[in-house]
Amino acid sequence: MRPLTVIPVAIFAVLAVVFGVYLWQVGPGGKDISQLPSAMIDRPAPQFDLPAIAGAPGRLDTLGLKTADLVGRVSLVNVWASWCPPCRIEHPILMTLAKEGVTIYGINYKDRPEDARRFLDELGNPFARIGADTKGRAAIDWGVYGYPETFVVDASGRIRYRHVGPINPGQVDSIIRPLLKQAEQNADGAK
């Protein structure tokens, strides 16, 4: 066979493989290509200092959240809002993790205090601390662009993982728990 007859077939074969692999990767259950890699991975959490959700302390009596709070123990940082439907879907998973003893910190994004309070009164509060990011500036410092977003932060206060969108039950076992475990082990090793 002459090379000129082979070339188009070869190009077709290469393209078919490339597209095939891509299709297989992003297909049902595959990776979401609209999700961006975070610029923050393996970097210390950004500097921020957010007040607690405003209003009279009732059932919801939480402290604000600042960078220093993230140092000392492995935690999840969840950016949420009462107006965000996927946050509502994700909420039971956060509740489960909190009951298991995972430290979860919340950043309440552009929410009205009364709405945020009602949301937590209704669905329960999984957060050890909640910072009220009423202007959304702390979220920008975290590189947040979709809600909810969840970060795995290790004991030294470094971001290890960023998850965009609600965590589904499968991802808790396949992604979140292993990362938390690994971070715990690293923290124990450092002691």
Partner 1 sequence: MKILLLVAALFAAPLLAHPAAAVEPGEILKDPALEARARAISKELRCLVCQNQSIDDSDATLARDLRIVVRERLTAGDTDSETVAFIVDRYGDFVLLRPPFKASTLILWIGPALILVAGIAGVFVWHRRRRSAVAAPVAPLTADEQARIDALLSRDAER
Contact with partner 1 (CB under 8 A): which of 39, 56, 101, 170? Answer: 39
Structure tokens at 49: 């200092």
Q: Is the peptide bond before 126 cis (omega within 30 degrees of 0)?
A: no
Q: Does 143 bind partner 1 (CB under 8 A)?
A: yes
The site for partner 1, by CB under 8 A, has a size of 18
Q: Which stretch binds partner 1 (CB under 8 A): 12-20, 53-61, 121-129, 133-141?
A: 133-141
Please provide the size of the chain in residues. Answer: 191
| Contact status, residue 129 vs residue 64, Cβ threshold 8 Å | yes
Closest CA to 107 of 128, 90, 93: 128
Q: Which is nearer to partner 1, 19 or 174 (CB)?
A: 19
Q: Which CA distances in Å does 41 have to 106, 107, 124, 125, 134? A: 19, 18, 30, 27, 25
Q: Does 7 bind partner 1 (CB under 8 A)?
A: yes
Work out how close the CB of 80 gets to partner 1 at its nearest, in angstroms, rounded to a whole number.
16
Contacts with partner 1 by CB under 8 A lie at 4, 7, 34, 36-40, 46, 110, 136-137, 140-143, 145-146
